[in-house]
Structure 1
C-alpha cells in the first residue's frame, strides 16, 4: 500500500508578499514558486558547492550510526542528504538561517505508522516542536521530505510505555509531503528563511536569488 500524502509547505510569512496567521502556516504546494529540479544535483552549488571540509567527529559518528541503522533495514539515506551532512562548511547552513531557532536533530529510523515497509528519519525540528521534518524512505530507494506536527519518536515511546499517543498515529493526514529531495527542501527552506530575516531585520532582501523567488508573489498582487 503506497500512501499519497497531501502536499503542503510549512514556514513563516514573507514580508508583505505572504501572510502567516501564527508562528507557522501550512501553504498549499501549488501556491509556491516552482523550483527547477535540474538545479538540484547534490552539489549544492546554490550554497557555494561542496567544500570537502570535514565535520566534527561527533557529527560524523552520529551520521555513520544513522546510515548503518538505515542500511540494516535494507534502505539507504539519499546521496544529497549524506553530502550535505558530511560537509563541514555546508553543515548547519539551515540551522544558521532558521528564524524560529530550528536545528538539525536526527532520530533513529522510525517505522511509518501509515505504510508498511517505509520509514521516517527526523532530521530537523522546531525548538518547540511545532513542526518536525523527516526523510520518508520507501523500499526500492524512493525518498522525499515530509513534515508533521507529531514527534513520532516521542509518540512511539509513549506507546512502548503502555500510554496512549496524543493522536491516531495511523492517520496519514498528520504527514505532509513538502519536497521531492533533501536538496530541494534545503533550498526552499534556506531561501524563505533568508527572505523572512531580511524583512524582519531591515527593508527586505536585495539578493537577486531571493528577489527572483518573491517575483512569483509580486506577480499575483493587485495592479501587477
Structure 2
C-alpha cells in the first residue's frame, strides 16, 4: 500500500491495562480488572531495547518457532507491514517464548495467530500472541501501515469478529479494544513483573520478593 493510498483514519484507542489484583495493594473485582495507566508504576523506556535484558535475554532461536513467525511475516508483507523485531526475538527465543506462560497467575498461554484485519481501521492488522485460559482476555499486536506497532487487549477473539455480530446486532469493536502498551517488550515486562508479584504476595509457588518486585510494589505503597 503506497503512502498515497494509506487510510488517514487513525482511531485513538482508550488506554487501559488489563490485569488481576496485587493483593491488598491493588484490588480486583474479579479475575481481571481494567486499570487506568496513570495509576500504574511508571516504566523506564530506556530498558526496552529489544534485548530483554531484564529477562536474561531470549536465548537461541528455535527453528520451528521462527518458521511459524516467518509465515505470519509473509502474510503481513503482502500488506506492506512487518513484525516488530522485539516481538520476533521473544517469540522465537528458546528462553523467552514461554516466559509469560510460566509466570501467569491466571494460566494465560502463548498463541501466535495469523494476521487479523482490524475491525475498526482499514489497512491495519492484529496478531494475537497471548490469551487467557478461558478466553476472558486476548492480547494482540496492533500493526498499522505507517509502521506503528503497539499492544492492545480485548475480551473478544477478534479472529472471529464476524461471528460476534449475531444474533444481537453489531458489536462496538472500537469500545472492545484497549491500548495497553506502546511496545511488545514494555507489555512483556509489566506482565512478567506483575504476575511474579502476584505469586509472591499470595504465597503461590516458589516466587519470592526481589529488588525488581519490591521496586514495582513501592509505587502502590507510596500511594
Q: How do 1:54-93 residues align onto structure 2 when only pairs under 5 Å count?
A: 54-55=61-62, 57-93=63-99
Q: What is the TM-score normalised by the length of structure 1?
A: 0.90
Residue deviations 1:1-30 (CA, integer Å, cap 9, x gap): 100011000011011210000000110111
Q: Give the counterpart of 2:176 among 174, 187, 190.
A: 174
Deviation at 1:167? 6.5
Q: How do 1:141-152 residues align onto structure 2 when only pairs under 5 Å count?
A: 141-152=147-158
Cα distance between partner residues in 1 of 2:11 and 2:144: 11
Q: What is the TM-score normalised by the length of structure 2?
A: 0.90
Q: Which residue of 2 aligns with 1:199?
A: 201
SS at match of 2:126: strand
Q: Give the counterpart of 1:98 among 81, 100, 104.
A: 104
CA RMSD between the two structures? 1.8
Q: Give the counterpart of 1:208 among 205, 208, 211.
A: 211
Of structures 1 and 2, the one with the larger relative CO (CA 8 A, separation 6+) is: 1
* Poorly superposed stretches of 4+, deviation over 6 Å: none
Question: Tell me, which stretches of 5 or more residues in structure 1 are unaligned?
Answer: none
Deviation at 1:155? 2.6
Contact 1:145–1:177, Cα closer than 8 Å, also in 2: yes
Residue deviations 1:168-201 (CA, integer Å, cap 9, x gap): 3453110000000000000000000000111222
Question: Tell me, which stretches of 5 or more residues in structure 2 are unaligned?
Answer: 1-8
Contact 1:114–1:169, Cα closer than 8 Å, also in 2: no
Q: Which residue of 2 aligns with 1:184?
A: 186
